[in-house]
A and B are shown apart, each in its own frame.
Chain A
Amino acid sequence: MRKIQTYLLPITFFCIIFGGFVVHILTVDRQQSEMENRPLESANITPSAKEILTGTWSKQVESYISDQFPARDTWMRNYVNFQRVVGKTYLNDKYAVDDKTGWIISKPAAVKPEEELAAFASDLQRLSEGLAEKHIPFTFYSLPAKATYSREPSPSYMPEDAGIANNVKLHELVTAAGVDNIRLYDEMQENFSAERNFFKTDHHWTIRGAYSGYEALIHTLNKRLGETIATIPFDEANTFCLPNKFAGSWNKILYMTVDNNEQICYNEPASFATQFTIYDGTIEGGVTAPYEAVYGRAKQMSPDAIVNYADAYSRDFAELTIVNQNYDSDKHLVVIKDSYFNTIQFHVASHFKTVTILDLRYLEKDIIHYLQNIQPDYVILAYNDRNLKLMPE
């Protein structure tokens, strides 16, 4: 006998799956995932026969359905919240959160195989020797990373993070390879404070940590360049913070589920806005960019906008050439860098006549030949100490 109540479950089920389908059709596709920091799959409605027959198209469609699933970020955020409710130690298998303080701590890194570190050391040696052919001095800098020096609170039973051990071993190998190198942490140890130097919810250093790094960097460069450059003193009174909410990179991976009151702060002299001519690329390319468009773009954003590290300081340019009218040294410095350097690029540039900043992730040039051609006075490679490859991740 058919009973009306028997239909309730199948109707509920059908409404959910068919409703999901309809909402999916009606929802406008997104181009980019802010949280995942990656482009989302778009619909390929004209696949080729080859794409269909090889199964490539079906994979694209599956990615498209997954990427453009209605309210994807909400589902993802709820999943992170669910993990927190059930007491998962490392959310999304990556980060532990201390809810009392709002600190996000990464899962401890394992000891890197020596071959991996040796490969990086070998790349640095090749770079150093290539530059030496043209008498261009080179120094490798490792900058202290949050993941390496901000380890508390970690569960007591977890092993020590191997970041420091990996970093020390790398420097031993680099020294053995005859490459000049600096562990910037060694120069910053005095009053080093993870709480002060790093963001709670992002993997970068704060303006205060970056400033300490800048001071140590200039101090060590002075010795190598035979200069006596005085760093710009950190002036607390000169610190300017944005009212915007901060989207820390690790918090974004956790779908902004960690409450925090972090702010983006700046400490720069007013002269920075006028003393540089900035080229997006080479001077010969002639494409200039105003200071405000390169550094501190978030200052122009609405106070309601959520700001990430790249908006706050600088995005990664493949090549940036900064010509300084008010320099201490007439030398041409080249910095091969990762995103850690973005915070202090103009602080460093303010001392030299020309600074070229290169990011190998985006630069499509043979780095050794290019540097041999432009003949700078000095080249440094400054990566945070979790980056253990010439091509940073």
Chain B
Amino acid sequence: MVFSSLIFLYVFLPLVIVVYFISPKMLRNTILLLASLFFYAWGEPKYVLLMMLSIVLNYVLGIVIENTASQSKRKTLLWLVIVSNLAILGYYKYAGFFVEIVNNYLTQPIEWQAVPLPIGISFYTFQALSYVIDVYRKDVKAQRNFLDLSLFITLFPQLVAGPIVRYQTVAEQIKKRIATAEDWMIGTRRFVQGLAKKVLIANPMGEVADHVFSLSGGDLTTGTAWIGILAYSLQIYFDFSGYSDMAIGLARIFGFKFEENFNYPYIAQSVTDFWRRWHISLSSWFRDYVYFPLGGSRVSHEWKLYRNLLVVWTLTGFWHGASWTFMAWGFYYGILICLEKWVLLKWLARIPRIVRHMYILMIVMIGWVFFRANDFTYAFSFIKTMFGLSDAALYNYETILLTKDYALYFVIAIIFAMPIYKLYQTWSEQKAAASLSFDWGLRITQSIYYGALLLFITMFLVNATHNPFIYFRF
């Protein structure tokens, strides 16, 4: 089920809210768990069993690891759980890719029937792994209550597209949480903001990007290519950060407080800074569970630091999907971060802020070409057209039509990609805290604004033809 759908907004969510809040507190986790399983089973019922298998595996091995005194046995068990989790993920996500590679070297190719990717498998697998690794590291106690661990992994706000929530973050909240009126207000506001990002900005930008990336080489002009990649850059940001906002907002309505997943990445001034602001939960997962165990930056030789960075970023790319373009995309960032660590950051510090912004935007947009393209040939051809290195014309009617029809969306998207609204929100909340009359005015205005925004979004949803979340396929 998709948050930005009529069935979620006008059937599932109101029913879950009613049932949850009229139920006694002791039943609320069970209700949330059942709702989450229903939410997941809605589109792909059979994959609930796969998720349950993953939960049982991690539940049992988490307890076993905790109860095992011998360090070597604990380590063996940890590897068992890591391999088991990755085997499930690998079968569904990566097997076809590897079979294809192996088949290139075989005279008798291996027959492989492609399997559909269970939705959210990359997210819940990483979430489950973090739990068991934390148990192994003795950072958390193993969860003895199966329902509570199941709720941690399946909680519907973050189940299918993150953020990747750490067990440490919510362990206490699963046991005991209070959803106050302020939580409801903040959660509602955040949810509607995320919904607006997705429906009012990401979807129209997606229309542009899909159209441009479907153009054949002859129809693609330099101007159209730039419009297309700008649209995709905005689409992926508003799509994913919108989903994260909705997840964080929904969780808050039920009393959970999740960590932030985005922090205005397009205002970054370096690649390093960008990745501190983009998909924070994934970057920090790789930092804590791959980069640090590899030695991180505390290494005997400098080359090991660069090796570690390249490994982590290539894996980050590969996490997104089983293709060479995703790996190249990750490796591309690995190289850039290595360069920044080596010398670039010092240079960047000396140049004007605006140039640093231009630098990062250019880097990111080129990166998105690899992310969006199906293969390298298309990606390189697209980049050549962007920079006028192909025979493509400067512009054509598509360029004019897209500019004219979507200029308003681009302007709105660019404004909201900057923390202007956040500054206003911080200012208004501070003022409301100091003045009761301002507080009343603000709450009334907010209610009207967000209510109207919700109705406006509904108008788009009734007409929706383009609604999938990009990160659902990861």
Q: Write the A190-219 contact mask toward B (1 if CB under 8 angstroms, else 0).
A: 000000000000000000000000000000
Cβ-defined contact, B182 with A52, below 8 A:
no
Is A14 interfacial (CB-CB < 8 Å)? yes
Q: How far is the CA of A65 from the CA of B447 in the complex (A)?
A: 26
Chain A nearest CB: distance from B96 CB in Å? 21
Known A9-B185, A9-B189, A159-B397; judge A53-B447 contact (CB<8 A). Answer: no
Q: How far is the CA of A117 from the CA of B43 in the complex (A)?
A: 39
Cβ-defined contact, A87 with B405, below 8 A:
yes
Majority secondary structure, B binding face: helix
Residue of A nearest to B400 (CB): A157
Cβ-defined contact, A79 with B459, below 8 A:
yes
Cβ-defined contact, B9 with A17, below 8 A:
yes
Q: How far is the CA of A159 from the CA of B450 in the complex (A)?
A: 42
| B455 surroundings in chain A (CB, below 8 A) | 16
Which of B180, B401, B455 has the most A CB atoms < 10 Å from its CB?
Answer: B401
Cβ-defined contact, A7 with B18, below 8 A:
no
Partner of A9, one of B5, B10, B401, B446: B446
Partner of B42, one of A9, A24, A53, A58: A58
| A11 surroundings in chain B (CB, below 8 A) | 447
Stretch touching chain A among B227-235, B414-422, B437-445 = B437-445
Known A16-B454, A16-B455; judge A69-B6 contact (CB<8 A). Answer: yes
Cβ-defined contact, A69 with B451, below 8 A:
no
Known A65-B6, A65-B7; judge A17-B14 contact (CB<8 A). Answer: yes
Cβ-defined contact, B443 with A18, below 8 A:
no
CB under 8 Å from chain A, chain B span 10-55: 10-11, 13-15, 17-18, 42-46
Residue of A nearest to B181 (CB): A6
Is B89 interfacial (CB-CB < 8 Å)? no
Residue of B nearest to A68 (CB): B6
Residue of B nearest to A72 (CB): B462
Is B184 interfacial (CB-CB < 8 Å)? yes
Cβ-defined contact, A9 with B7, below 8 A:
no
Residue of B nearest to A110 (CB): B219
| B397 surroundings in chain A (CB, below 8 A) | 157-159
Partner of B460, one of A7, A24, A79: A79
Cβ-defined contact, B11 with A8, below 8 A:
no
Cβ-defined contact, B462 with A69, below 8 A:
yes
Partner of A24, one of B5, B10, B182, B189: B10
Count of residues in A whose CB is under 8 Å from the partner chain: 43
Partner of B43, one of A2, A8, A55, A76: A55
Chain B nearest CB: distance from A67 CB in Å? 10
Is B108 interfacial (CB-CB < 8 Å)? no
Q: How far is the CA of A34 from the CA of B400 in the complex (A)?
A: 34
Q: How far is the CA of A58 from the CA of B42 in the complex (A)?
A: 6
Known A2-B180, A58-B42, A89-B405; judge A17-B13 contact (CB<8 A). Answer: yes
Q: Write the B457-474 contact mask toward A (1 if CB under 8 angstroms, else 0).
A: 011101100000000000
Cβ-defined contact, B443 with A61, below 8 A:
no
Is B115 interfacial (CB-CB < 8 Å)? no
Residue of A nearest to B441 (CB): A5
CB under 8 Å from chain B, chain A span 6-54: 6-14, 16-18, 20-21, 24, 52-54
Is A86 interfacial (CB-CB < 8 Å)? yes
Chain B nearest CB: distance from A50 CB in Å? 11
CB under 8 Å from chain A, chain B span 173-217: 180-182, 184-185, 187-189, 191-192
Known A9-B188, A10-B185, A12-B451; judge A21-B14 contact (CB<8 A). Answer: yes
CB under 8 Å from chain B, chain A span 154-199: 155, 157-159
| B343 surroundings in chain A (CB, below 8 A) | none
Known A2-B180, A8-B444; judge A75-B454 contact (CB<8 A). Answer: no
Q: How far is the CA of A91 from the CA of B63 in the complex (A)?
A: 59
Cβ-defined contact, B5 with A62, below 8 A:
yes
Partner of B10, one of A20, A72, A75, A79: A20
Cβ-defined contact, B446 with A61, below 8 A:
no
Q: How far is the CA of A69 from the CA of B461 in the complex (A)?
A: 11
Residue of A nearest to B402 (CB): A89
Chain B nearest CB: distance from A152 CB in Å? 16
Cβ-defined contact, A88 with B405, below 8 A:
yes
Is A82 interfacial (CB-CB < 8 Å)? yes
Chain B nearest CB: distance from A330 CB in Å? 53
Is A223 interfacial (CB-CB < 8 Å)? no
Residue of A nearest to B191 (CB): A13
Which of A3, A12, A75, A79 has the most B CB atoms < 10 Å from its CB?
Answer: A12
| A2 surroundings in chain B (CB, below 8 A) | 180-182
| B15 surroundings in chain A (CB, below 8 A) | 21
Cβ-defined contact, B458 with A75, below 8 A:
yes
CB under 8 Å from chain B, chain A span 265-300: none
Can you name 16 extra interface pairs (CB under 8 A) apart from A5-B444, A66-B6? A2-B182, A13-B191, A13-B451, A13-B454, A14-B14, A17-B10, A17-B454, A18-B14, A21-B11, A21-B14, A21-B15, A58-B1, A61-B7, A66-B7, A88-B405, A158-B401
22 contacts between A and B (CB under 8 A): A2-B180, A2-B181, A2-B182, A6-B182, A8-B446, A9-B185, A9-B189, A9-B446, A12-B447, A13-B188, A14-B14, A16-B455, A20-B10, A20-B458, A24-B11, A62-B7, A66-B462, A69-B6, A76-B462, A86-B408, A87-B405, A89-B401
